[in-house]
Amino acid sequence: INTPQSGKVAVVIGGGAGHEPAFWGYVGAGLADAAVVGNTFASPPPDPIIAATRAVQGAAGVLYIYGNFSGDVMNFDMAAEIMEAEGVRVRSVITTDDIASSPRETRSARRGVAGTTGAAADLMLPLNEVERMARHANARTYTMGLALEPCSLPETRQPSFELGPDDMEIGVGVHGEPGVERRNMETADTCADLLLDRILE
């Protein structure tokens, strides 16, 4: 958590654990002021979000940035309502960059993995402008995952999908959701070209 600065919009990000170094790794100069992390692949509850907001806000407003997952949306929205009742101005930007999770026609339904930014707040810009710049960054951020092994959660120790030793899963989700295509294992160069071609489309 950064020390609150008078006149600076505070940027609070968060999501589930298991994505390290996100989200706590994005706290620092030009980045976020606080990161709130829940259990593995689970949203942080409202109370820690509220505590982090109180710790970093410096009377210029707060911007929440988080991925497009139902738990994150619900809990950050609840925290925002409580903070606004205390007189803190809160805006939210939901990241929607994972191109494998939804076609471009329904961009707002995409999962959020990246696109978190805090540089505009460091320039001491007002809340409206910090929010606008965060939305601008999100609209121009595109990601796609590729997995060589399935994910397994600590509590179940079961793979989220089956994948052969010579296969790779294209478009896998950040929580181990199955992808959109399965192929035989390729070289790193071929994989990079494959993902980049789809992102550039």
- The stretch 68-95 carries a mean pLDDT of 97
Note the pLDDT of residue 85: 97
- The stretch 77-104 carries a mean pLDDT of 96
- The stretch 97-110 carries a mean pLDDT of 93
Q: Cβ(178)–Cβ(169) under 8 Å?
A: yes
Confidence of residue 23 (pLDDT cuts 50, 70, 90): confident
Note the pLDDT of residue 1: 66
Integer Cα distance of 7 and 57 in angstroms:
9
Mean pLDDT for all residues in the chain = 92
Note the pLDDT of residue 98: 95
> Would residue 19 show up in a list of annotated catalytic residues for this protein?
yes
Output phi, psi for 122, to 5 deg. -65, -20
- The stretch 5-27 carries a mean pLDDT of 90
- Range in 40-49, 55-64, 94-103, 174-183 with the lowest mean pLDDT: 174-183
Sign of the alpha-carbon dihedral angle for 168, 172, 177, 179: negative
> Would residue 175 show up in a list of annotated catalytic residues for this protein?
yes
Q: What percent of the chain has a predicted confidence (pLDDT) above 90?
A: 72
- CB proximity list for 150: less than 8 A, separation 6 or greater: 159, 160, 161, 162, 163, 169, 176
Q: Cβ(129)–Cβ(175) under 8 Å?
A: no
Which listed residue (4, 5, 17, 19) is catalytic?
A: 19
Which listed residue (54, 107, 136, 175) is catalytic?
A: 175
Q: Are strands 146-147 and 62-67 parallel, antiparallel or unpaired?
A: unpaired
Note the pLDDT of residue 40: 87
Note the pLDDT of residue 153: 78
- Range in 30-34, 141-145, 172-176 with the lowest mean pLDDT: 172-176
pLDDT(108) > 80 = yes
